[in-house]
Copies of this chain bind each other. A is one copy, B any other.
Amino acid sequence: VQEQTIAVVGGTGQQGSGLAQRLARAGAPVTIGSREPGRAGAAIEAWPAQAGTIRAASYREAIASANVVILAVPFNTLSDLLSQYRDTFVSGALVVDVTVPLIFSGGTVRLAEVPEGSAAEHVKARLPDHVRTAATFKTVPARLLNDTALPLDCDELVCGDSAEARERAMALVRMVEGLRPIDAGPLSRAGAIEHLTLLAVGLNRLHKIHDARFRVVGL
């Protein structure tokens, strides 16, 4: 039986580090992919111990060794990253896009126009055919994720390029305590999910809070 190995690329930001720790808590071996693995390794030392191991590696090593790759880098760095590491992904890997193309300017926040329709479709267009793409962890607030003592207590919408991608992504969400995965259908739903993040960020700013998030009622 081959164990699931999870790479969190960009695993030292709030979102990546929160996800890595909360997935490791469920017992998964997690590799943080970093531009500076030495510095990432030092950061990991300061994190509380989890049931699963967390180690740091280069982007290349992390991607090459994982059957689940979570992309937790800023949206505007995805294109360069994926053109550089496109051939590094393992055949059959699940690539999970968690990015949202938010633009903060003029005291407000909006979504960038993405020609592919959404960040997730932007990612899918830059990946080889032998991987699967899903989008999730887009709306759970990064700051809350990273404060690993706090309960999450919300739903997380999942969409993907195939039933298999959605099922695997939902299993990943289920590993994180306090999150309920909700199947939202095809990858083309990612744009609507990214708008949900925009709403949450707008609510945070307007109401001076940090953890606006959502539950689906009726499911």
Contact = CB atoms under 8 A, between A and B. Distances in A.
Interface stretch (A41-49, A58-66, A119-127, A192-200): A192-200
A173 to B, nearest CB: 15
Interface string A18-57: 0000000000000000000000000000000000000000
A189 interface: yes
Contact of A184 (B193, B206, B215): B206
B217 A203 contact: no
A153 B215 CA distance: 12
A154 interface: yes
A191 B195 contact: yes
A147 interface: no
Interface in A149-189: 153-154, 157, 182-186, 188-189
A155 to B, nearest CB: 9
Contact of A218 (B182, B199, B206, B211): B211
Contacts of A203: 182, 184-185, 216, 219
A142 interface: no
Nearest to A199: B192
A146 to B, nearest CB: 15
A202 B185 contact: yes
Contact of A192 (B141, B195, B209, B213): B195
A75 interface: no
Nearest to A182: B203
Contacts of A211: 217-218
A191 B194 CA distance: 12
Given A192-B196, A196-B192, A209 B219 contact: yes
Interface of A: 108, 110, 141, 153-154, 157, 182-186, 188-189, 191-193, 195-196, 198-199, 202-203, 206-207, 209-219
The 9 A-B pairs with the shortest beta carbon distances in the complex, nearest first, are: A195-B195, A211-B218, A192-B195, A215-B215, A192-B199, A212-B218, A213-B217, A154-B217, A192-B198
